[in-house]
Chain A
Amino acid sequence: MKNLWLILNKYNAFFLFVVFFGLACYLVIQNNSFQRASAVNSSNQLVGGTYEKINAWKSYLHLRDVNTHLAEENAALREQLQRFTATDSIVQGTVSDTARGVQYHYVVAKVTNNSIHQKNNYITLDKGRIHGIEKGMGVISSNGIVGIVLNVSEHFSTVQSLLHSETRISAALEDSRAFGSLMWGDNYDSRTGVLKDIPNHVKVRKDELVYTSGFSLFPPGILVGKVVETGLSGGDSFLDIKIEFSTQFHNLQQVYVVDDLLVDEKTELESQNDDNG
């Protein structure tokens, strides 16, 4: 015990470093969403990977049962099929389309804090929960896309800017209507981004305008930017297109938060096709 104490005392610089550094790292992982997400993710991947391996082995043991079960089910289905092959009149009903009213609602907000020099940039707005802002809403400015609402408090909200390594927005080219995902990419310039996943056969011209596709949180047809360089392809079947943002991130003042009134219905429906691999 005495020796242990002596060692701790002799190398106190190192042990104090470990204590304080551990405390700071704990704070980092607890309080920063990206770091927490990647820490949790990597541990989940480890656990998940192990389970997957075990399940793959386990499934072999049940193959005989599964086979007999499938055979029985086949027989039952075949029996049912006999009844349907006899009749051939197919009746289709139509459902009248309810005209939708206003789908998007806009909340005007002022930028109270902004950054463009970090690897992951965030913006703070002066509108919060009591103004109807919720997590995950899109944010646009008068001349382009700004980002996605990340966190909301009573009177303020923070926005994950388009200048963030994790932000992806669905965008489409003006002429061909081909859509891809827009991201900041790995450049350090707040004026340009990359449009990925446009197939190789699509003809892209310089200065072609890029709009939102309407597949993500943003209404369709909002200007995103224009093409400055085409085909940065890495030799695969997709083009990487360099885009100049129409949003001026360095002097952002007033923005609009887009409230998609039908978003819950849409996500609920889409969550049902969950087996996407």
Chain B
Amino acid sequence: MAKVFSYNVVRFIVLVMLQVFLFKNIGYYNLATPFPYLLFLLLLPVGISNFLLYVLAFITGITVDAFYDTLGVNAAACVALAWGRIIFVRITLQTDQYENYMTPIVGTVSFRWYLLYVFILSLFHHTALFLLETFTFHQFHYTLTRILLSCIFTTIIILLFSLLFYRKKQR
């Protein structure tokens, strides 16, 4: 339990720092911008309570917002992601699986599940983020392109990151 806690604290600090100092400056023109910090929210234990998940998502978003000068935008996106996560976990996992403190990462879950998990949840996050950022339905196709391309970009980077946290299959 203490181990899970300390792992997550370290993950939070490292990912937020990387996001605001490194990934903020990376982008394919304006079309694709990666947001790998949401890996922190994805790797929270499966059995976490809904309220705690929302609070953590909100805090993470606000922290990133503070560095992006867009107070509230990332927070809203992270809250959307938390909602998506609750639904996704409830649909795809068995009850006995989401009652423990398992970290959903390749090794403990299948790669296919993990890929889908990352992609769909980043879709939740990016949709909320870009719609709130542009705040208009004008040039909607452009916003849509940005959402999709950024999603792919984020997913690729998160999969690369996951190699860092990879754990051998526990039997």
Contacts and interface: CB of A to CB of B under 8 A. Distances in A.
B139 A16 contact: no
B54 A16 contact: yes
Given A38-B135, A117-B33, A13 B50 contact: yes
B42 interface: no
B86 interface: yes
Interface string B127-171: 010001111100100100000000000000000000000000000
Interface in B1-37: 24-25, 27, 29-31, 33
A151 to B, nearest CB: 11
A119 B72 contact: no
A38 B138 CA distance: 12
B30 A188 contact: yes
Contact of A119 (B50, B71, B134): B134
Given A20-B57, A20-B79, A28 B72 contact: yes
A90 interface: no
A21 B79 contact: yes
Contact of B142 (A20, A35, A186): A186
Interface residues on B, range: 20 to 34
B136 A28 contact: no
B76 A24 contact: yes
B72 A24 contact: yes
Q: Which of B25, B33, B54 has the most CB of A within 10 A?
A: B54
Q: Which of B51, B54, B79, B128 has the most CB of A within 10 A?
A: B79
A14 interface: yes
Contacts of A20: 54, 57-58, 79, 82
B75 A13 contact: no
A24 B87 contact: no
Interface of A: 12-14, 16-17, 20-21, 23-32, 34-35, 38-39, 115, 117-119, 122, 186, 188-189
13 contacts: A12-B50, A14-B83, A16-B51, A17-B54, A24-B58, A24-B72, A24-B76, A26-B72, A27-B71, A27-B72, A30-B72, A115-B24, A188-B31
